[in-house]
Amino acid sequence: MRIVLATSNPHKVTEMRAAFGTAGFGGLELVGLGEVGVVGGEPEETGATLEANATIKAVQYARRTEMWCLADDSGLEIDALGGRPGVISSHYATDGRETGVGREERDAANTARVLREMEGVPEERRGARFVCVMVLAGADGTVAGTTRGGVRGRIGVRGEVPRGAGGFGYDPVFLVGPTFARSGAELSATEKNATSHRGVAARAMAELLREIR
C-alpha cells in the first residue's frame, strides 16, 4: 500500500515512517511530496482546528497526486496561555502568518516567543500537551478516517531549555511527562515514536489502514 504524506518536511517524513514501523504495519510505503514530484502550491491552511487543517491538506494532495494521502496537523497547547499556540503553532511568532522564512529560523522564533510569554510562570502552571490529528483521504479526495494522539508535559524554564539535538519545532523546550527529566529533543527516535503525540495517532491510523487494506 503506497501512501503520500502531505508534507515537504523531511524530519516529519522520517518520523512518520518510524512511527508506522513501530506500529508493526508491514507492506506500507510512505513517500513524501517531493518523492512524487509535488513542488510548491501548498494549500492554504485556513481551518480553525487541527482537524480542519489536516483535512484540507489530505483532500487537496490526494486529488493532486491521485494517490491515497495521509496528512497530519500538530500543535502545542499550553495551559497558562489558554491553549495557545494551538492551531497556529507552526507560525506562532507571526500570529499565524506565513512569512516565507526558513524552518529553523521559524522554529527558533516560535520557541523564543513561548519562553518569553511563560517568563515568571511557576512550575506547577507550566503544563502543556502536544496534540496530533491525522486524516487519511482516498485518491478521489474522500476522507477515509481521522485519528488523534496527545502527550502531556510542561514548558521548561529559560536557561534550562532549549536543550537537545534531536526533534524539531518545540521539542527542545517541551519537557516530557511524567518525569519531566528530558526534553522532546533529548529522546531517541525509538523513545519518541513510542510515546509521542504523532506516534499515538499513527498507531491508531495503522489499525484503520489494516481494516481498509
Count of all residues that appear for the chain in the document: 213
The stretches of 98-185 forming alpha helices (DSSP H) are 103-117
* C-alpha distance from residue 112 to each of 62, 94, 159, 170 (Å): 35, 12, 12, 10
Q: What is the CA radius of gyration of the chain?
A: 17
Catalytic residues: 73
* C-alpha distance from residue 105 to each of 22, 24, 73, 198 (Å): 31, 35, 20, 23
Other Cβ atoms less than 10 A from the Cβ of 166: the count is 16
The number of helices, as runs of H, and strands, as runs of E, in the chain is: 5, 6
The answer to whether the CB of 10 falls within 8 A of the CB of 22 is no
Q: How far is CA 99 from the centre of its chain?
A: 20
